[in-house]
Structure 1
């Protein structure tokens, strides 16, 4: 192990020995590199206190319309890696297999509504991921968990995203520093709404400082590991023994299976419904609903917010599609998902 990887390993060991870490009794086990590092290192520190792993996966066999329509091209991969981690750590592994219908359409949509309400959004990219986290957290609450460990922050800090991996040696460090100022994660506010606590080692100030200072170099974050080029390189070198050390980054929606939602909404929502409701949204609320998946979420957003008040709209610095204010420092509208919602400046 090289010196930088050894330093990172020691730093994470210190973070995962903190009071916040020691209070964790469960982990949201996606099976990705981030939760693999967090859970395997945490287990070494607190032993039997970490008892529970929770994984959400969409089983194609239980989703007849999506499966029969050929929307699933492969079995979601989170469960494959999550099972290996749970077995290695001897966790009580709770595998949740909700159907897409239950999460998004005619079933108990309280989980989706919770995400819409807490995140104040009808953006598909946000909700395809958030609903998975919310479903897992609701279950954690139901079985008596109190503090749940997640892998939030690793992609943002260590170039886990493919678009970051393509940046130059000059641009990547600058982008990482700016990312720290604007990054948000759904797990913390969702957990708070449910009366739970969420903790991620990657969001510890010591890790953030490393990733934006000493460790803010492209050659530490992007490069060859095994037979492939990856992001989060220094993390892989620091923890080469973890189950998912060589796993390629997958967004939550891909790993668990909710990535088929845009295509499924095309099948479930008729053209007539979409045209009528999109027209009403524009005429009555001044909101552009761009596709059928967004319409599924907008129906809840409208009921929760627009029909009875809601997030304030502001003047000049507002999204041209939905009229809601944009967060400082970002060109992405967190409400409707429009990008770019303001001119991009370098």
Structure 2
């Protein structure tokens, strides 16, 4: 009996170790590489592989707009997991929301004053951090632009996709359902917080795409990606436009809309789409309550940003602008896509430091 228990314990340790190894073995991963920071520039695909280990315990600062939804939890998991894998030290900061630009700037300044050798920024504002980025460049501190987009040409590297294409893919999905010539489908559109680079890009991509179909955007409502803020916007839109056919917007919008639509008895009338992907959207698609969402493989973007920072610190060759290839998840593939590239593991809680 004692020997059996020892063998079982040993097997459990091996299984656990194997699971950790598999979780860390995320590469090579197929990504797209742009010729420049211009999203319209030419691009090509490559199999991306990071450094095996950092040469030293570099200090990296990471700044996110907030940790209010599971999208940023996935990015947090990506940067934390890669920091642990490569052996670097990391401090993760969250400003508390898209209204907190000044707080994000001061948090980054304090982190740099504490000895950070590189900064990874998920920007609250497309233009609002440009002065800070310029100051960091003057100090020879590399800045990696992750997820949201920063307009400064002083950014060192970008690990992000085109949110214009993300919005476009959501729009294209609707166009396939409602091609030109039919009765227009009425859509309420919730792009996210006004002024954020990813939101403006997503709005342009979506509104451009739906012009190719029989689709009428009857309302556009901007707002912070907190659930209460999105729920208030949804209630306003449904009250003002009781005849809408679709709610399309952020993942938080889609998650909030599921319950609201159900409570109002509108499940057969109002369909829901998100233009990016979270665990709540994933569950909504599995349960048939959300139709579809494109994924930008947020975990991978976080991992790549860390690798870019390490490479820059160590003077190694790096790709200046990369992002995972986009694809849409719906009922046809929700059970067989690469979940670990898009979502944090079940039970993962926000982590803010790696020593």
Normalised-by-shorter TM-score class:
under 0.3
The two structures have a TM-score, normalised by structure 1, of 0.26
The two structures have a TM-score, normalised by structure 2, of 0.26
Structure 1 or 2: more helix by fraction: 1
